């Protein structure tokens, strides 16, 4: 067994740090869009809106049922062949679209379950004071459902952050893409990938701290 090249590993840190913003940026934008889309899909399913409900079921089934990598290739390499206008789509945008749709499908089901878990009394009281469906969702049901869904949704966010590494297969030089290039130059594969692994690990651990604060905040109404 050869010795590890610590000097190389230390030198890699500032190089890779430059790519953290792109990774976090892709992850945050995808997460925000996925949350919005997932909430909409969940409400469509809970309300059982005739045609939309069917479309939503198929959407969720497809994006949960096929690998993320296949979906990304489909968006980036496949679709532009059918719709030439999509040739202009760059790797980052394609990755954001793919991650958004993929994770929205998963999160929609968690949010739906959380909505259905909100006590019947909350729906009845909202209706009794004359709230519309939209007011009831926004002010009463979703805030309570978010408390239940939060741990699962943060889990998906963690998965999504790691999922951004697949963008390198679309030619995007993000954290993983940059590491791949460094390794190809140095041939020090172990050193390179262990450093990039630690990068992802630290990002996710930082997120876990945020998760604790978020859950504390969402639960403040439920402390006896």
Partner 1 sequence: MIKIRGLTKIYNGTPVLNGIDLDIEKGERIVIIGPSGTGKSTLLRCLNFLDTPDGGEIIFDDETIDVTKASPKDIQRLRLRTSFVFQNYALFANKTARENIAEGLYTVRKWGREEALNRADEILATIGLADKADAYPAALSGGQQQRVGIGRAMSVDTDLMLVDEPTSALDPEWVEEVLQLMKRVADQHRTMLIVTHEMSFAKDIADRVIFMEGGRIVEQGPPSKIFSAPEDDRTKAFLRKVLPSAS
Nearer to partner 1 (CB atom), residue 113 or residue 131: 131
Interaction between residue 51 and partner 1 (CB under 8 A)? no
Nearer to partner 1 (CB atom), residue 124 or residue 215: 124
Nearer to partner 1 (CB atom), residue 137 or residue 195: 137
- What's the min distance (Å) between Cβ of 122 and partner 1? 7
- What's the min distance (Å) between Cβ of 217 and partner 1? 12
Q: Measure the CA–CA gap between 149 and 112, rounded to whole angstroms.
A: 9
Residues of this chain, 193-222, that bind partner 1 according to CB under 8 A: 220-222
Backbone phi, psi, residue 223, to 5°:
-80, 130
Interaction between residue 132 and partner 1 (CB under 8 A)? yes
Give, in degrees to the nearest 5, the angle at Cα 148 between 145 and 154: 110
Q: Give the pair of three-digit tokens for residue 151.
A: 């741990």
Interaction between residue 140 and partner 1 (CB under 8 A)? yes
Helix, strand or coil, per DSSP, at residue 70: helix
Q: Measure the CA–CA gap between 126 and 178, rounded to whole angstroms.
A: 52
- What's the min distance (Å) between Cβ of 124 and partner 1? 6
Nearer to partner 1 (CB atom), residue 124 or residue 205: 124
Residues of this chain, 109-128, that bind partner 1 according to CB under 8 A: 119, 121-122, 124-128
Interaction between residue 134 and partner 1 (CB under 8 A)? no
Spatial contact of 34 and 98, defined as CB atoms under 8 Å apart: no
C-alpha dihedral sign at 90, 72, 103, 215:
negative
- What's the min distance (Å) between Cβ of 62 and partner 1? 33
C-alpha dihedral sign at 136, 137, 139, 141:
positive
- In the numeric block, the tokens 């990938």 are attached to 193
Which H or E element spans position 157?
helix 142-163
- What's the min distance (Å) between Cβ of 43 and partner 1? 17
Interaction between residue 224 and partner 1 (CB under 8 A)? yes
Nearer to partner 1 (CB atom), residue 23 or residue 144: 144
- What's the min distance (Å) between Cβ of 155 and partner 1? 23
Rg (CA), the chain: 21
Residues in binding contact with partner 1, number by CB under 8 A: 22
Q: Measure the CA–CA gap between 91 and 72, rounded to whole angstroms.
A: 9
Q: For binding to partner 1 (CB under 8 A), which residues are involved?
A: 119, 121-122, 124-132, 135, 139-140, 143-144, 220-224
């Amino acid at each position: 067994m050869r010795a590890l090249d610590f000097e190389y590993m230390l030198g890699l840190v500032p190089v890779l740090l430059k790519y953290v913003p792109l990774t976090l940026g892709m992850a945050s934008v995808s997460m925000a869009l996925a949350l919005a889309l997932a909430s909409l899909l969940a409400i469509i399913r809970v309300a059982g809106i005739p045609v939309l409900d069917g479309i939503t079921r198929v959407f969720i089934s497809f994006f949960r049922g096929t690998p993320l990598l296949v979906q990304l290739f489909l968006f980036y390499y496949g679709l532009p062949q059918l719709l030439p206008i999509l040739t202009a789509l760059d790797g980052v945008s394609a990755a954001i679209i793919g991650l958004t749709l993929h994770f929205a499908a998963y999160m929609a089901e968690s949010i739906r379950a959380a909505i259905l878990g909100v006590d019947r009394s909350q729906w009845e009281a909202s209706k009794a004071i004359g709230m519309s469906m939209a007011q009831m969702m926004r002010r009463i049901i979703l805030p309570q459902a978010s408390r239940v869904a939060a741990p699962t949704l943060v889990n998906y966010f963690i998965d999504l952050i790691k999922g951004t590494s697949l963008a390198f297969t679309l030619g995007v030089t993000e954290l993983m893409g940059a590491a791949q290039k460094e390794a190809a130059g140095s041939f020090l594969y172990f050193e390179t990938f262990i450093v990039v692994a630690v990068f992802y690990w630290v990002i996710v651990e930082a997120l876990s701290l945020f998760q604790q604060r978020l859950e504390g905040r969402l639960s403040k109404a439920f402390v006896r």
